[in-house]
Amino acid sequence: MTQRQPPTRSANGLAQPLGHASLRRANLALVLRHLREEGSCSRADIADSTGLHRATVSNLMAELLERGLVREVGTERAGAIGRPRRAVALDGSHVGALGMEINVDYIAVHGTDLSGRVLVERRISFDAMGQGPDRSLAELGRVTRRVIGDMKRAGAPPGGIVVGVPGLVDSGRGVVALAPNLGWHGLPLADRLREELGGLQVPVTVDNDANLAALAEYTSGVAAGTADMVSLTGEVGVGGGIIVGGRLLRGADGFSGEVGHLPVDPGGDRCGCGRVGCWETKVGFAALVRSATPDQAYGLDAGQGAVPTPDPEERVREIARGLAEGDERMVGAVAEVGRWLGLGGSILVNLFNPRVIVIGGYFARLAERLIPAAQAELEQLVIAGPAARCRFMASNLGFGAASRGAASMVVDHIMDDPTAIGSAPIAPDIAGQRI
């Protein structure tokens, strides 16, 4: 008998039985995830492991083969004299997953297929802070079209797109409720990007960049598998993704993780959110640049003498060179950021008791200078003291952590609903200039 699935819940909280389509979708996902975790195996093995009837597995496998999500990989024998069984395996080579991030001064792209093969990985300098939402969406659409073309030429058109944004995101509606450093309010990004892409029949999802970075850190970062951790994005602003018990903490409305707006200095600078003394005014990359290289601060126009350095990597390299040369202004600025990083980190440890705080973006690039000061401040301020056993670690995912996490979220969406693949035509190849 087909495995029984738990009932769904209606809006009034009463249990409702799964319909046939929902049950089939759940069973397809069960089989696909089993193949993802176990590798190649026979239909009989899948039935034995999942509790599904063998005839049901054969029927499900036929659909997964038709959708191009699995492939037959030869035969295996059950025992010394058993009949040979045809083995099947996840086939991720023909379906892509596109993760993107739009931040203050760049657009990052990470495209893979379902097997994890990286098809495209880029970061394009772009002044989203200065260009406004309309021009930013046009540029995001242009980049997306070119990347989709590249993925199609690689034989794996995307089965979904997830875009990370630094701010409060209503993921269910695909709306950026508030992105202070971008100046966006109530922007229906998912709908707008679909318009930019024309008739492309691919799901578009929007999520918070720090949440996506945390997922990447949890699945493939330096602290992968750590059940209780915090991931901090070191960008112009600072966001936090919080993993508790191996699950991403989203909160009641999906707005958790805005740690950059923890109030740490009532007499401090005004933040992009309109409040005073937020943590990111002390440790955000804009704050460091303003202290270390004031003539190149974010927000200055050419008339005020700003020298444009469009890629954050270039700014980080300049500060790193200054540190190596013993530039007193830069050394002092980085030390100050380290102390404030530890102070804010202690608040997170007191609240969530994580085992690790992973620091990404520019934090990771300057970790050798930042972590000693941050760790000392944290250990002094954490109420549980050494018993908390939390340490800072530098991410190895660079500025592309959020786009990497976004791509992994697409893969999870496909694993949860295999019927989304192969049920609708993909738009024709998108030709044109590569980005």
**For 365-406, what is each residue's pLDDT tens digit?**
999 999 999 999 999 999 998 878 999 999 999 889 999 999
* 252 shares its domain with 308: yes
102: pLDDT strictly greater than 90: yes
**Which residues does 42 contact at the CB level (< 8 Å), separation at least 6?**
76, 78, 85, 86, 87, 88
* 250 shares its domain with 171: no
* 84 shares its domain with 107: no
**For 7-50, what is each residue's pLDDT tens digit?**
444 444 444 445 788 899 999 999 999 999 988 899 999 999 99
Within a 10 A sphere around the Cβ of 210, how many other Cβ atoms?
Answer: 31
Q: Which band of pLDDT confidence, cut at 50, 70 and 90, is reported for residue 426?
A: very low
* 207 shares its domain with 231: no
Distance from chain centroid for Cα 246: 16
75-84, 123-132, 298-307: which range is least confident on average?
Answer: 298-307
DSSP H or E run through 189: helix 189-196
Among 90, 116, 136, residue at a domain's last position: 90
* CATH number, domain containing residue 110: 3.30.420.40
pLDDT at 140: 97
* 44 shares its domain with 83: yes
Comparing 82 with 134, which gets the higher pLDDT? 134
pLDDT at 344: 97
Residue ranges making up the domain that contains 350: 224-396
Give the count of domains, the chain: 3
- Cα torsion at 188, 173, 241, 196 (round to 10°)? -40
Does 219 map to a domain? no
- Please, are residues 108 and 399 in contact by the beta-carbon 8 Å criterion? yes
* 359 shares its domain with 273: yes
126: pLDDT strictly greater than 70: yes
* 288 shares its domain with 368: yes
Does 2 map to a domain? no
Among 68, 90, 112, residue at a domain's last position: 90
Distance separating alpha carbons of residues 53 and 33, to the nearest angstrom: 17
Does 428 map to a domain? no
pLDDT at 427: 36
- Please, are residues 54 and 43 in contact by the beta-carbon 8 Å criterion? yes
- The identity of residue 120, as a single letter, is V
Comparing 353 with 83, which gets the higher pLDDT? 353
* 365 shares its domain with 242: yes
Of 243, 216, 249, 211, the C-alpha closest to 227 is 243
Residue found under tokens 């640049």 = 289
Q: What is the pTM of this model?
A: 0.85
Among 90, 120, 145, residue at a domain's last position: 90
Comparing 14 with 57, which gets the higher pLDDT? 57
* CATH number, domain containing residue 51: 1.10.10.10
End-to-end CA distance of the chain: 52
- The identity of residue 115, as a single letter, is S
One DSSP character per residue, 198-264 reads TT----EEEEEHHHHHHHHHHHHSTTTT-SSEEEEEESSSEEEEEEETTEE---TTS-TT-GGG-B-
